[in-house]
Each structure stands twice: as structure tokens, then as C-alpha cells.
């Protein structure tokens, strides 16, 4: 199943992310309304937006990226977001 992942930091470089995944990845510029970037994190903020990239990812891709982002070790968690385009996506947020 293909999902969308919104990224706003290191993973925004599709060559880097593709290298982690071992394959090229489809991406497009996207905006996340209702959040602002604070350091390495995104936090809810009604009047702000975060510019980034949306990737089309598979469940296998997400498992690899979860390890990179330290989800199991509770460094980041996955949250559900709605992008400016109206697409539902997942984003990583610091714990």
C-alpha cells in the first residue's frame, strides 16, 4: 500500500532518502498548514505552515525510515497530518 510521508528536515533530500531506502523515490513540494518548525521538530500552530516534501512510500519504506528516525527508541513518533493539497500523510515529530 502506498502512503504519503511529509518531511521537513534531513529526509527532504530525495537522493539521501533514496539511498536509505535503496531505490529512487517519488517526491513533490508540499506545505503542511497549522504547524511551524521549531529546531528539529514541528509543533501545532494555527497561523503557520511548514514547507517540505511529500514522498510516496510503502510500508516497507516506512519501516526503514522508522529505524532511521528512531521511532522504536522514542526519538520521533509518527503523526497523521493533512497537507495543503488535501492529501492525508504521515509526518515524524519529536517525542
Q: How confident is the model at residue 32, as a pLDDT?
A: 98
State how beta strands 76-82 and 27-38 pair.
unpaired
Q: How confident is the model at residue 2, as a pLDDT?
A: 74
| Per-residue pLDDT tens listing for the chain (95 residues) | 679 999 999 999 999 999 999 999 999 999 999 999 999 999 999 999 999 999 999 999 999 999 999 999 999 999 999 999 999 999 999 99
Q: Which of 76, 84, 88, 89 is nearest to 34 (CA)?
A: 84
Q: How confident is the model at residue 1, as a pLDDT?
A: 67
Q: How confident is the model at residue 50, as a pLDDT?
A: 98
Residues 93/6, Cβ–Cβ less than 8 Å: no
Amino acid at each position: 500500500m502506498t502512503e504519503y510521508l511529509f518531511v521537513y528536515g534531513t529526509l527532504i533530500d530525495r537522493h539521501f532518502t533514496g539511498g536509505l531506502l535503496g531505490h529512487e523515490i517519488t517526491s513533490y513540494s508540499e506545505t503542511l498548514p497549522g504547524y511551524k518548525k521549531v529546531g528539529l521538530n514541528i509543533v501545532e500552530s494555527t497561523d503557520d505552515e511548514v514547507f517540505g516534501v511529500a514522498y510516496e512510500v510503502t510500508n516497507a519504506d516506512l519501516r526503514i525510515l522508522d529505524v532511521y528516525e528512531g521511532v522504536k527508541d522514542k526519538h520521533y513518533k509518527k503523526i497523521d497530518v493533512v497537507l495543503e493539497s488535501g492529501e492525508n500523510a504521515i509526518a515524524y515529530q519529536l517525542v
